[in-house]
Amino acid sequence: MSDLLRELWSRAECEEPVFSAEEIEWSPPGQFELLCDLGLLKETDRATWARCEACGDGHVENVAWVQNATTGRSAPFVPCPENGGAAVSIERLRRWAIDLDAIAQATRRALGLIGNDSALLPGRVWFLGRRHVAGRFRDFFFVLGAAREDEHMLWDRCRQIEDAPSPVILVPSQTPSERRAPAFRLADLASITDDRIVVDLDYLGEALPSERGVTPAKTMASFRVPADATWADLRLVVREHTIVARLRDREQEFGFEDLGLSGIDDRLWQLLCSFARLGGQTPARSRTVSEKGAATFRKQVSDLRQRLSTVFPIDGEPIRAVHGTGGYRCLFQISLDRTDGFPVQPERWEECRFIELPDGRIAISVRTKEVFATRTISEETARRTDLEAAERYGVRTEEYDLRALGLADQSSRPTAEGRTLLEFLRDGGKLARRGDDKDILRLAQRLRDWMGLDAEPFQFTRSRTLWSTLFESSSHRKSSRRS
Ligand SMILES: [Zn+2]
């Protein structure tokens, strides 16, 4: 008697993973039907060999197709050196192959994996998807024939396994001889029930080396993504404690827990906020950043990349290195939650510059100093915290006409506040007006809103009855004022 369910995992490792009609005939009732119903077995081409039943020897011979002289039809025949041979029924030559893609799919479902799965090496290696297990995100691979002679070829041709931060290899029954990553036998982990394959995730979680200091995310959310979606289709708006994701007509809000983040102090959250403030691109690496600081930053970007790919299962990388600069660029759109306003939030007015351009538009530049705290908590003493700051500088410039800034009316005539701004710019940031000048106070409010700063943009010197801008002011147009 051949137990098909038990045999499935070892047979899957064979060059030709098939069951013969004879094996199926002698299997426990219901097993064959179950495997067919689950889509794991599919009928394949007929056997080209069969056991001789004409003598008692049980030898195996190639099937000969012999034409019947009377009927003209061909029929299978097993030759026998003992007594010439005997005809064999076509039914006995039927075979059923294990559908390896179906096993990969069923395993992916059983583990609740997300992300885009793919066959990396057809028939041998599959990327099944990823999920959070034992304190961190793991990439799951399904590998067949890991103990065959050509094993090294699998690793050479599937660099994705080695490149994955935390790969987990699942095999039917033969673990790799070269230990590249934690490997588990589905023969041990999986069971086949009435309607599906079940994989013992608890066992997997306990057997995997857990990652200390990483917040477990039990309820990672995931965004349903159309198959043809690209990262460019995704827009993230970063709010105070959530992000809002938009992709075509779908919108979803994610909290810290949904993103697998511990809270506002989570370094990945801070990195996400930095990208949002910078409009999706970090500036080139500053010369003052140490190699170690740069490596830590690289690691953080890589972690964020992986986290985003988990929540948003879109093909390809969400963040790319800007070649040769040490900076990074998001392939998706990301901004702070500001419906109108400068895309980057400066820390101080002194980091801003307003220029009136020859065509009348206003160029606003913000010099950003980004400090990425790269915190490493030593394992011996959790109290001691090493803080390393990686500083980056960059300038972000946007050009607006006065109307976009809310400082001109529908026919582009500057409002009183708009005229006040132009006077400031044309006079190098100085303006002689009373301390309670309403236009200046209203302009100040408008600029605070636009730049997302709480501090006042203007300073009033009582002794000289003079207003001055804290930001750098200039104009490419001549002053229209006559003084
Ligand atoms: Zn024989």
Distance 80 CA to ligand 1 centre (A): 4
Tell me the two tokens of residue 350: 């002194």
Does one domain contain both 193 and 79?
Answer: no
Q: Are 481 and 423 in contact (CB under 8 A)?
A: yes
Handedness of CA 298, 301, 302, 303 (dihedral sign): positive
- DSSP class of residue 483 equals -
CA pair distance 115, 127, nearest whole angstrom = 10
Does one domain contain both 203 and 308?
Answer: no
In a domain, 225, yes or no: no
Distance 87 CA to ligand 1 centre (A): 12
Distance 60 CA to ligand 1 centre (A): 8
pTM: 0.47
Does one domain contain both 399 and 444?
Answer: yes
Report pLDDT for 297. 85
Distance 63 CA to ligand 1 centre (A): 12
Q: How does pLDDT run across 371-410, given as a tens digit for each residue?
A: 444 434 333 333 333 334 445 566 778 888 888 788 988 6
In a domain, 190, yes or no: yes
Does one domain contain both 304 and 409?
Answer: no
Q: Are 31 and 5 in contact (CB under 8 A)?
A: yes
Report pLDDT for 419. 96
In a domain, 25, yes or no: yes
In a domain, 341, yes or no: no
The domain containing residue 304 runs over which residues?
Answer: 231-336
Distance 67 CA to ligand 1 centre (A): 20
Report pLDDT for 249. 84
| Domain count within the chain | 4
Distance 1 CA to ligand 1 centre (A): 23
Distance 86 CA to ligand 1 centre (A): 8
Does one domain contain both 200 and 281?
Answer: no
Report pLDDT for 479. 55
Length of the chain: 483
Low-confidence ranges of the chain (pLDDT < 70): 1, 179, 210-221, 338-340, 368-394, 410, 478-483
Distance 56 CA to ligand 1 centre (A): 7
Residue with tokens 């309403």: 438
Q: Where are the alpha helices (DSSP H) in 208-287?
A: 267-277
In a domain, 303, yes or no: yes
Nearest to 284 by CA among 396, 397, 394: 394
